[in-house]
Amino acid sequence: MNIFIDFDGTITKTDTTDSLLEKFAKDDFNQVEQDWVCGRISSKECMQTQYAMIRGMEHEIRDELEHIEIDPGFIDFCKLMQNRAKLIIVSDGIDYPIEYLLKKHGLLSIPYYSNHLSFLKEGVAISFPFEVKQCTSKCGLCKCHIFHEQQFNDAGKSILIGNGKSDVCVAHQVDFVFAKEYLLTYCQQHQIRHSEFNDFWDLINLFK
């Protein structure tokens, strides 16, 4: 069984991109966000524009990530599923916070797929190693592509755990969805097999 897990707002209690923008962005990133919400730009374009506004050094960004909390039940969920399923993190966010927080909590053995952050002399740049031009969600990382790649190698049951807009495409592909927030509403509106969850303690109780 493959369990695909979103990162920002699912594993973490807050969105790491939002936290970094609020701390280090030098321009109005909220207007860019609104353009994305309204559909005027894609997720990829939104992230490229917003990350170009960041002027933090690597050590400053690292210090900010120290304040990011993960869901208090996530570590125990990983332990519970260790010999029962393959956990795969799929994020349309960036790799630096994912790697930093997984390492901090001793979870670097979990594979993850995301967009890539590079540090420049001044600021940062973002690239998209898992971009698929045909992605219907127009995300920097196509979660459907990762899903099909993983399922080709292991054609067992598949589950998605998520909360946001970047999860909606792959929600149609998996066998079952655990959803909250935006993704929950989407699943309800599109008759996708799902169950609501608030945190990983809920999931632990369901999988016990």
Task: For residue range 132-146, list pLDDT tens digits in order.
Answer: 988 877 899 999 999
pLDDT, tens digit, for every residue of 38-49?
989 999 999 999
Task: Assign 122 a pLDDT band (cuts: 50, 70, 90).
Answer: confident
Q: How far apart are CA 123 and CA 24, in angstroms?
A: 9
Domains and CATH numbers, the chain: 2-13+70-207 (3.40.50.1000)
Residue 136, CA atoms < 13 Å, CB-side half-sphere: 7
Q: Is residue 115 scored above 80 in pLDDT? A: yes
Q: Looking at residues 121-141, what average pLDDT do you find? A: 89
Instruction: Tell me the H-state helices in the chain.
Output: 16-24, 29-37, 43-51, 58-65, 74-81, 95-104, 143-153, 168-171, 181-189, 200-207
Strand order across the 2-5 sheet: 124-127, 112-119, 86-94, 2-5, 158-162, 176-179, 194-196
